[in-house]
Amino acid sequence: MDTLSIIKPDDWHLHLRDSPYLQKILVHSANQFARAIIMPNLTPPVRNSNDAESYRQRILSALPQGSNFQPLMTLYLTDNTSLDDIHQAAESNSIVGLKLYPAGATTNSDAGVTDLKKMYPVFDAMQQRNLVLQVHGESNKKEVDIFDREKVFIEDSLDPVRRQFPELRIVFEHITTADAVDYVSSENSHLAATITPHHLLINRNDLFTGGIRPHHYCLPVAKREQHRLALITAATKGKANFFAGTDSAPHARNKKESSCGCAGIYSAFSAIELYAEAFEISQNFSNFEAFMSLNGPTFYQLPVNQDKITIQKSCWTLPTTLNYVDDELIPFKAGQTLQWRLIENA
């Protein structure tokens, strides 16, 4: 098999930042995907329907001419999110969900939720209005070992929310552990998970090969090899509640290569090819289309795309740097060779 055509994929977790960076990076996602869920962690965050609509307009105006790329908007949950905010979001045609960042858990999460229990009335309204809760699933307790934060979050936060709101549709974003795979697999169709290309392709050793590797640092941080293998199995097995979400999160080179480097990996430039690389490891593409293009729309209750894309087995080399306004952006796998290339995108 050296070419493969599938229904055009969507990116179910994407950071597009804002002007002027937005203008530099949007083209990469628009070249690859039909739609993307746009994360709301701007400064200040996207907190209500008005913020989301003006951000959506900025995204649409930054699109290359002729692009049909569709941004699907999310709101950032804070301690002050009101029931009115939820009802207005439910009335909007462009907002699909609300993102829960435990305060301090990741980049631009300081305005996030400090006490999950206090959000229960908001979750109740979201459940009633059929809005999706997207979750950054890591404990924000500083005393919890960074490699255990996802597992602890499942036990002390996610599972209690699932039990209290069984009809609330939740996406456990960018999962990194076998524990998360097992938990999501054991639940029903109201819980799904996104998996990033980088968590399928690197483990925690890759953060330290020959020295510290800031461009492999993201949150949740990559885990042991056994966890990466569990993610590969989850992605390739075709189960409906796992789908692609890149968590492509650009940071300027000088912010990554620093004494306190930012968390975030930029994969949007070659996201589909990176996922293909991961499926190549398992030598089984039979569920590639399900993972990339079918499971996401089914969970989000959106139509499956009409267009098709084609990838071809042919080696190519990623650029070493990309332009990022007054700095550079280092794409994931910069300067390395990939085996699959996107050759047709309707």
249 binds ligand NCD (CB under 6 A): yes
**Three-class secondary structure of residue 72 per DSSP:** strand
Query: What's the CA gap between 9 and 296, in Å, rounded?
Result: 9
CA distances from 283 to 26, 145, 181, 201, 311 (A): 31, 34, 21, 14, 15
Name the residue nearer to Zn ion (CB basis): 11 or 247.
Answer: 247
Among Zn ion, ligand NCD, none, what binds residue 264 when CB lies within 5 to 8 Å by partner kind? ligand NCD
Name the residue nearer to Zn ion (CB basis): 11 or 289.
Answer: 11
Name the residue nearer to Zn ion (CB basis): 105 or 191.
Answer: 105
Tell me the closest approach of the beta carbon of residue 290 to Zn ion, in angstroms.
23
263 binds ligand NCD (CB under 6 A): yes
150 binds Zn ion (CB under 5 A): no
Tell me the closest approach of the beta carbon of residue 28 to ligand NCD, in angstroms.
16
Name the residue nearer to Zn ion (CB basis): 15 or 239.
Answer: 15
Neighbouring C-alpha atoms within 13 Å toward the C-beta of 206: 19
Q: What binding mask, one character per residue, do residues 113-152 give for ligand NCD by CB under 6 A, x or -?
A: -----------------------x----------------
Of 11, 85, 179, 247, the catalytic one is: 247
Query: What's the CA gap between 244 and 122, in Å, rounded?
Result: 27
159 is catalytic: no
Extract the tokens encoding 84.
């009115």
Type and span of the H or E element at 179: helix 178-186
Q: Which of 314, 229, 311 is nearest to 278 (CA)?
A: 229
176 binds ligand NCD (CB under 6 A): no
Residue length of the chain: 346
99 binds ligand NCD (CB under 6 A): no
Instruction: Please list every residue from 228 through 247 that binds Zn ion, using CB under 5 A.
Output: 247
* Strand pairing class (308-317; 3-7): antiparallel
Residues forming the active site: 247
